[in-house]
Amino acid sequence: MTVEQTSDETLDETSEEKKPKRLSRSTPMGMVAAARYPDQSDRQTVANGIRDQDADLVIGHLTPTSYKTESVCGIDLKLEPLSPSLGTVVHGIDLDRDIRHPEIVEFLREIWLERRVVMFREQQHLTRDGLIRFAECFGELGAHHGERDHVPSGPRTPDGYPDILPIQSGEKHPGAASEWHSDATWSSRPPMGSILICREAPPVGGDTNFCDGYGLWEGVSRETKARIKTMQAVHIGQPHHAMDGHIPEAVHPVARTHPETGRTVLFVNRVFTRRFADEHGLDDIQTQSLLQELFANIGRPEVTCRFRWGVGSVAMWDNRAVQHCATADFWPHRRLMERVTILDSDVARRTPYLALSDEA
């Protein structure tokens, strides 16, 4: 399943209306569905069976958590780390009201830079206008995929909100961006960050996972670091990223310097990074061998965190420092999200680079 793409074909092996639709096991959605309701090939039977399994689930908060407290502008906050290395849920904040305090915005940005991903719960009152206002506290609102020099033609956006990207999945049109990626690295200036809000959540499943780009760099061997520190990689968009028939392509350093923290990030991903720049002279076998070495730690539990969605949950991630993917395990339930992107207000910092002083 390609990033942000949905299709009836992912779970449906035949489009003939008169025949029962069969469940395909060739996708993550179908694989999980078949495991949950085995020995059935009829898609509707499996869907009904899974709904029956989940019918008695109750929304609640039973997981043990650790947190620390902070008071900012008289607002008492609880900061819950999702993993040791990245991801913090900020409890006790109203993203529509409290961001009017500059101190709150500064506090959230500091956590965001330190932890790469910040999350919030119970923000279902946040309207589309409120979501845009929140994004603009941290940078310039981007088009639905980032920079406005290439806006993919395909996505349908809500009336009056051309910069908000709906991401939805259901029984008839299942789909999830279930491979690790950073957003729009096919752009010469990928977005600084993204914000995702959940409007409708499945009763179970559909989590989003985040992977630490700093940790990925630390996991590269010393010899390989020395080899790749001057290398460039080619990132290519997918057909649904085309604008007027043109599929975007960009070249970025394999390792980049975070423009605000100064730390080094491994900046390749399985979805968009296809090869290395021609100047490096690698053949296909050498290219695949090096890519697989660089991809090896992506998704390891030790450098990831996982966020469970509920209605009104919000996640804001630093696209310069993390990769992410959805968990495609929630069919036939509905999952409806809305996303905006943030561009760095400092235009000079938007293009990825590796500082010569960075240690390899």
Q: What is the mean pLDDT of the chain?
A: 92
Beta strands in the chain (DSSP E): 68-72, 75-81, 88-91, 117-120, 140-141, 165-169, 193-200, 208-212, 232-236, 249-253, 255-257, 264-266, 273-276, 304-307, 314-318, 322-326, 335-343
Per residue in 130-145, pLDDT tens? 999 999 999 999 999 9
Q: Bridge partners of 337?
A: 167, 198
Q: How confident is the model at residue 176 (pLDDT cuts 50, 70, 90)?
A: confident
Residues in the chain: 360
Spans of all domains in the chain:
20-54, 145-360
Per residue in 189-231, pLDDT tens? 999 999 999 999 999 999 999 999 999 999 999 999 999 999 9
Per residue in 58-99, pLDDT tens? 988 888 899 999 999 999 999 999 999 999 999 999 999 999
Q: Tell me: domain 145-360, CATH 3.60.130.10, correct?
A: yes
Burial class for 329, CB neighbours closer than 10 Å (0-12, 13-18, 19+):
buried
How large is the average pLDDT for residues 148-163? 93
Per residue in 267-325, pLDDT tens? 999 999 999 999 999 999 999 999 999 999 999 999 999 999 999 999 999 999 999 99
pTM: 0.92
